[in-house]
Every structure is written in structure tokens, then in C-alpha cells.
Structure 1
Amino acid sequence: MARKLISSGSPFEDVMGYSRAVVEGDWVFVSGTTGFNYENMTIADDVVNQTEQCFKNIKAVLEQAGSSLDKIVRITYILPTASDFELTLPVLKKYMGNVKPAATVFSAALIDEKMKIEIQVTALNK
């Protein structure tokens, strides 16, 4: 299978020179995805709504790649404010509760202070 690059249409992708996702063989590698609604480039003020939007964005790109949320094998959560993680737990359970991928969580500054969470995933596409 040839390498396939997938874009969400976010202007960040062109500015930075990256793809929202790369399909290589049986794998889909999804870039760190934030809570921006890429259709209108808006972002909610709170971490819960941003987390929900992250999963909507990830779901859309995985479907473009021929995959789905239930094929995620690894997930990384990055939050600038570690104490916000607890607030995201109901959303994480909603989307990943039955999938149970290998997971890592860490706290680090994100490139834009409006961003409250960034999520990166690796999934199978078969």
C-alpha cells in the first residue's frame, strides 16, 4: 500500500508542513490534534468541550484513512494544566472506555494558550 497523507484543512498543516494523519501499511498515525473546530477555526474555552472536539476531529480523520476509533492502539494526552485531566475523564471513558488502548498522559505547554488538550493516536486501518 502506498503512503497516504490526510489533511483536515487546518491552516496549521500548511504553515508547519505536516499532515493530520499518515497511512503507512496497516497503520494510521494521527498528529497531535487539538480542540479546534476546523470548519470555522473556533475553539471552546473549556477542556471538556475541547476534548470532545478532539475526538470528533480524530474520528473524522481515522474514517478518511479507512479506520475508526475502535482501532486505536496507542493514545497520548497532553495537557498544559495537569489538574484538568480529571475533568476530561468522562469524555475519555465515552470514547476509549471499551477500546482501552495503551495510553500516556503528560503535562506540557502547548503552542497556543487557548489549547487545553492535545491528543495523538496510532490506529490500525485493517
Structure 2
Amino acid sequence: MSRKLISSGSDFERKIGYSRAVVDGDYVFVSGTTGFNYATNSISDDVTEQADQCFSNIEQALQEAGSGIDKIVRVTYILPDREDFKPCWPVFEKWLGDVRPAATFFEARLLEDAMKIEIQVTARV
């Protein structure tokens, strides 16, 4: 099977040597994705809006990979403040309520203070 690299177009990917997503065999591995809105070049102050934007960014990468949200088998949520996790549950339900992938959450600092959530997924092609 061939390997396909998918980029968001961010210079940051090149600078630290990673791809937004990698298709390898029957799987798509989407890197930790933040709530940065590439269309407006901004990030919301609201964690739930960031969570929703994360999934929009993930959806775009999955579509480019020939996959989709409904093919997600694993999700990892990373938040700097665990108190922000529960307010995001309705967003998670909106995007993954019918998909119900295996999931993990952990609390950790993110690259920038403006980032309130980062989400990574693995999906089938």
C-alpha cells in the first residue's frame, strides 16, 4: 500500500516535520488538531467553539484522505483544563454520537495558551 501525506497548508507542518494526516494502508491518522480557523486566520476564546472547529478541520483532512467522520475508530481529546471537558460533550455528541469510536481524554498544556483543546483521530479509509 502507498502512503499519502495530507497538509493543512500551515508552514508549521514543514518547520517541525509532520503532516495534518497520513494515509497508510486502510487507515488515516490525523494529527492533533486545534480549533484554529484557517479561513479567518483566528481562534475562538470559547472551548466549545474550538472543539467544533477542530472537528471541521479533521473532517476536511479526512475527506481529502478519502475517508470521513463516520469512519473514525479512535479519538483522543487533549485539554489544558479538565474542567473544559464536560462543556464540550454536546459538541462531541454532535460529531461522534452515532460513530462512537474508542476514546481517551487527558489533561496537558498545549503549544499556545489560546489553544483550549486538541483532538487527534484515527479512521478507516
Please, what TM-score do these two structures have when normalized by structure 1?
0.96
Asked whether the 8 Å contact 1:9–1:38 carries over to 2, the reply is no
After the TM superposition, which segments of 4 or more aligned residues of structure 1 sit over 6 Å from their partners?
none
- What's the CA shift string for 1:27-74, capped at 9, x where partnerless? 000000000012342100110100010000000000000000000000
May I ask how many residue pairs the two structures share in their alignment? 125
Task: Please state how far the C-alpha of 1:14 moved relative to its aligned partner.
Answer: 1.6
Q: Please list every run of 5 or more consecutive structure 2 residues that lacks an aligned counterpart in the other structure.
A: none
> What does 1:40-119 correspond to in 2, within 5 Å?
40-119=40-119
- What's the CA shift string for 1:53-98, capped at 9, x where partnerless? 0000000000000000000000000000000001101000000100
Q: Please list every run of 5 or more consecutive structure 1 residues that lacks an aligned counterpart in the other structure.
A: none
Q: Which deviates more, 100-109 or 33-42?
A: 33-42
Task: Please state how far the C-alpha of 1:10 moved relative to its aligned partner.
Answer: 1.8
Percent of aligned positions that are identical: 62
Task: Write the distance in 1 (CA, Å) between the matches of 2:38 and 2:10.
Answer: 6
- Which residue is equivalent to 1:37? 37
Q: Which amino acid aligns with 2:69?
A: L
Alpha-carbon RMSD across the aligned residues, in angstroms, is 0.8
Q: Which deviates more, 37-46 or 87-96?
A: 37-46
- Which residue is equivalent to 1:9? 9
Q: Which amino acid aligns with 1:49?
A: E
SS in 2 for 1:115: coil
